[in-house]
């Protein structure tokens, strides 16, 4: 049977298997989980990361430090006997793989292969190549991309996946797989001999999803490094044909080598078309895997009212018929669970009756976790005159992201300034487990990215599936999911009305809290619960990976 091979450098299989860093990996895991539910013929390929992403530690001032997140693959995955090799800096590097199995609701299994270079035969430096996710320097990253792209294709062949119809590059990190496919096609002839028909044959096998307009998300490698790591022959082929320009740009390579390209939301497709003129870029809006992200109390509610929701996410449409007080009760339970966990982890006791705002995601500067603290006086006024508010934060900054680390410190500064008036907790070491707890347990999901940098965002979708409405800048998925006062609330102007204006956005944020949201929570709870229910019915029924994967299957993979 022909299969679709899904390649992703970042992949969230389980909360405590540290092969993911954030949204990209969670999306990849959710996509594979839904593909398993749907019984689609996919296989996943990623790296093992023996030392994980990292554990986050925050001191009293919010300074982040990191330690390795080591784990034991042997207890969780099956080691496979197959061995393949790749060439890195002229050395032969031997690779093995570990298999993880994703089982869908109807029992269909999707294997995921994690490549591992920690073998005795390899030089010590090569043994560590699959240790760290997003760690190391340019050389380390490029070597990892050789392992993922080229090693991944060779591994699949060694495992007997010979008639793979589609290679899906989930972000440009895996674009070197095109080089491996070209080599197969050339059957030993040098890559310099590749002609247009050879390139077209590769293109017909590949699909590419671009995930961010942020420049740091697009790997670019200097040519001398590419020559050094990949060797003369491949480097000059890439330089002349794959990605002409001053550096090897993995996004350009992926675009050039793919028959189908998509962005992850409608607006993101527009922005990507501006970034890559002349390129056909479709939009397949992201989603989340419902059964993974729905809290236990809502699982029970849905099992009762929407019995087929695990098999067919369009059932969430019928949430309009769930009595409001039952939604309220399920939410109270999800909130209780979260506040219990907060108390366990931080010794801070939050008040269950207080309006609770959540913000948890990667700490990157453009996401502006601190926008809501622009005017502390205004926040105090809301608390004093409309009703009390408290905040729950979580999120890791990439170890080299100075701006992201600053944002965490600024949230801690707000915490110190507001100490006795507005409680703010910051939960260390954000992972899928915390993501599930926080998205489901707060009363409002806050999202304040700088337009147009949030390609999609998925945490607000997890919140919606748990009846938690968003207050969000109109960017990414929210442009599609927002109906004012029905599924949540917007901040600022639409993305077509000019540049992001932080002062105006902060003002809009406070105005919505002050005049619509907090008054409804304390004074018109039925109204608030109606918004919660519409978030489930309108957004839960669409922003899920079941719908998303069906779109990939019909448009990108051309599966039936
Ligand atoms: C869902 C999730 C994300 C993605 O959040 P965004 O709002 O899309 O940035 C990141 N990290 C973890 C652990 C998640 O569960």
If you write DSSP's letter for every residue of 398-413 in order, what string do you get?
PTT-HHHHHHHHHHHH
Pocket of ligand 1 (CB under 6 A): 22-23, 26, 361-362, 430-432, 435, 457-459, 462
Q: Which domains does the chain have, with CATH numbers?
A: 3-56+66-287+548-556 (3.40.50.2000), 290-543 (3.40.50.2000)
Whole-number pLDDT of residue 350 = 97
What are the distances in angstroms from CA 257 to CA 82, 396, 558?
28, 33, 17
> 446 with 357: CB under 8 angstroms?
yes
Whole-number pLDDT of residue 497 = 85
Task: Give me the mean pLDDT over the 530-548 stretch.
Answer: 98
Residue 107: band (very low, low, confident or very high) from pLDDT cuts 50, 70, 90? very high
Strand ranges for 344-478 from DSSP E: 355-360, 389-394, 424-427, 444-447, 470-473
Task: Give me the mean pLDDT over the 215-237 stretch.
Answer: 94
Lowest mean pLDDT, pick from 184-188, 235-239, 240-244, 398-402: 240-244
Query: What pLDDT, in 10s, does the model give residues 259-279?
Result: 999 999 999 999 999 999 999
Of all residues in the chain, the percent with pLDDT exceeding 70 is: 100
Lowest mean pLDDT, pick from 36-40, 309-313, 497-501: 497-501
Distance 191 CA to ligand 1 centre (A): 40
Helices assigned H by DSSP within 394-501: 402-418, 432-441, 459-465, 478-481
Distance 118 CA to ligand 1 centre (A): 29
Whole-number pLDDT of residue 1 = 59
Whole-number pLDDT of residue 243 = 81
Query: What pLDDT, in 10s, does the model give residues 115-166?
Result: 999 999 999 999 999 999 999 999 999 999 999 999 999 999 999 999 888 9
Whole-number pLDDT of residue 244 = 78
Q: Above 80 in pLDDT, residue 560?
A: no
Distance 174 CA to ligand 1 centre (A): 21
Distance 462 CA to ligand 1 centre (A): 9
Q: In this structure, which residue's CA is closest to atom 8 in ligand 1?
A: 457
CA 375-441-395 angle, 5° bins: 60
Task: Give me the mean pLDDT over the 448-452 stretch.
Answer: 95
Q: Of ligand 1's atoms, which has the minimum distance to the CA of residue 458?
A: 8
Q: In this structure, which residue's CA is closest to atom 11 in ligand 1?
A: 22
Query: What pLDDT, in 10s, does the model give residues 368-387?
Result: 999 999 999 999 999 999 99
Q: In this structure, which residue's CA is closest to atom 3 in ligand 1?
A: 23
Distance 19 CA to ligand 1 centre (A): 14
Whole-number pLDDT of residue 163 = 86
Q: Of ligand 1's atoms, which has the minimum distance to the CA of residue 436?
A: 15
Q: Of ligand 1's atoms, which has the minimum distance to the CA of residue 293?
A: 15
Q: Above 80 in pLDDT, residue 242?
A: no
Q: In this structure, which residue's CA is closest to atom 12 in ligand 1?
A: 22
Distance 506 CA to ligand 1 centre (A): 23
Residue 217: band (very low, low, confident or very high) from pLDDT cuts 50, 70, 90? confident
- The tally of CA atoms less than 13 A away on the side-chain side of residue 337 is 19
Average model confidence (pLDDT) across the chain? 96
Q: Of ligand 1's atoms, which has the minimum distance to the CA of residue 460?
A: 7
Distance 390 CA to ligand 1 centre (A): 21
Q: How far apart are CA 207 and CA 195, in angstroms?
A: 20
Mutate to test the pocket of ligand 1, among 459, 539, 543 (most ligand atoms within 8 A of CB): 459
Nearest to 158 by CA among 266, 80, 215, 69: 80
Distance 182 CA to ligand 1 centre (A): 35
Residue 192: band (very low, low, confident or very high) from pLDDT cuts 50, 70, 90? confident
Could you tell me how far CA 274 lies from the centroid of its own chain? 23
Distance 360 CA to ligand 1 centre (A): 7
Whole-number pLDDT of residue 160 = 96
Return all residues near 523 (Cβ < 8 A) that are at least 6 apart.
Answer: none
The pTM score is 0.97
Lowest mean pLDDT, pick from 213-217, 303-307, 387-391: 213-217
Mutate to test the pocket of ligand 1, among 360, 365, 463 (most ligand atoms within 8 A of CB): 360
Distance 430 CA to ligand 1 centre (A): 9
Radius of gyration of the chain (CA): 24
Q: How far apart are CA 326 and CA 464, in angstroms?
A: 16
> 183 with 84: CB under 8 angstroms?
no
Nearest to 164 by CA among 221, 115, 207: 207
Whole-number pLDDT of residue 357 = 98
Whole-number pLDDT of residue 176 = 98
Q: Of ligand 1's atoms, which has the minimum distance to the CA of residue 27?
A: 1
Q: Above 90 in pLDDT, residue 73?
A: yes
Distance 12 CA to ligand 1 centre (A): 11
Whole-number pLDDT of residue 377 = 97
Mutate to test the pocket of ligand 1, among 26, 295, 466 (most ligand atoms within 8 A of CB): 26
Distance 364 CA to ligand 1 centre (A): 12
Mutate to test the pocket of ligand 1, among 30, 53, 435, 440 (most ligand atoms within 8 A of CB): 435
Whole-number pLDDT of residue 310 = 97
Query: What pLDDT, in 10s, does the model give residues 279-293?
Result: 999 999 999 999 999
């Amino acid at each position: 049977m022909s299969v679709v091979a899904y390649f992703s450098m970042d992949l969230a299989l389980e909360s405590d298997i540290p092969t993911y860093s954030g949204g990209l990996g969670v999306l990849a895991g959710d996509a594979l989980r839904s593909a398993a539910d749907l019984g689609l013929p996919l296989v996943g390929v990623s790296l093992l990361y023996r030392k994980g992403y990292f554990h986050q530690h925050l001191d009293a001032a919010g300074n982040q430090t990191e330690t390795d997140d080591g784990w034991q693959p042997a207890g969780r995955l099956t080691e496979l006997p197959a061995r393949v090799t790749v060439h890195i800096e002229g050395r032969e590097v031997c690779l093995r793989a570990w298999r993880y199995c994703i089982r869908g609701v109807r029992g269909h299994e999707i294997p995921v292969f994690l490549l591992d270079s920690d073998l005795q035969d390899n030089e010590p430096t090569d043994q560590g190549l699959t240790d760290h996710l997003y760690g190391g320097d340019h050389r380390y990253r490029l070597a990892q991309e050789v392992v993922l792209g080229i090693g991944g294709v060779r591994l699949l062949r060694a495992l007997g996946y010979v008639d793979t119809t589609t290679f899906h590059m989930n972000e440009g990190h895996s674009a070197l797989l095109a080089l491996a496919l070209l080599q197969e096609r050339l059957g030993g002839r040098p890559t310099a001999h590749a002609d247009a028909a050879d390139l077209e044959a590769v293109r017909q096998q590949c699909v590419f999803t671009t995930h961010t307009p942020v420049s740091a998300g697009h790997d670019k490698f200097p040519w001398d490094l590419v020559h050094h790591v990949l060797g003369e022959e491949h480097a000059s082929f890439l330089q002349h044909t794959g990605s002409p320009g001053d550096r090897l740009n993995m996004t350009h390579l992926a675009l050039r080598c793919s028959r189908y390209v998509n962005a992850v939301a409608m607006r993101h497709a527009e922005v990507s078309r501006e970034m890559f003129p002349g390129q056909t870029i479709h939009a397949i809006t992201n989603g989340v895997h419902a059964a993974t992200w729905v809290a236990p109390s809502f699982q029970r509610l849905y099992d009762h009212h929407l019995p087929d929701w695990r098999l067919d996410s369009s059932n969430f449409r019928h949430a309009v018929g769930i009595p409001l007080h039952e939604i309220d009760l399920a939410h109270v339970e999800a909130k209780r669970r979260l506040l219990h966990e907060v108390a366990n982890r931080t010794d801070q006791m939050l008040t269950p009756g207080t309006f609770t705002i959540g913000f948890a995601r990667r700490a990157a500067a453009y996401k502006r976790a601190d926008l809501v603290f622009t005017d502390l006086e205004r926040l105090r006024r809301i608390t004093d005159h409309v009703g009390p508010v408290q905040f729950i934060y979580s999120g890791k900054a990439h170890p080299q992201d100075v701006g992201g680390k600053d944002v965490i410190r600024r949230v801690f500064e707000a915490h110190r300034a507001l100490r006795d008036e507005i409680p703010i907790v910051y939960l260390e070491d954000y992972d899928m487990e915390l993501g599930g707890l926080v998205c489901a347990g707060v009363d409002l999901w806050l999202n304040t990215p700088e337009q147009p940098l949030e390609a999609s965002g998925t945490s607000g979708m997890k919140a919606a599936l748990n009846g938690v409405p968003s207050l969000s800048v109109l960017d990414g998925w929210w442009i599609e999911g927002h109906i004012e006062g029905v599924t949540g609330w917007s901040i600022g102007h639409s993305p077509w009305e000019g540049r992001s204006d932080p002062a105006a956005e902060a003002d809009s944020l406070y105005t919505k809290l002050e005049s619509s949201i907090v008054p409804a929570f304390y004074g018109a709870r039925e109204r608030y619960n109606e918004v919660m229910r519409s978030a489930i019915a309108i957004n839960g029924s669409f922003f899920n990976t079941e719908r998303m994967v069906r779109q990939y299957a019909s448009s990108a993979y051309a599966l039936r």
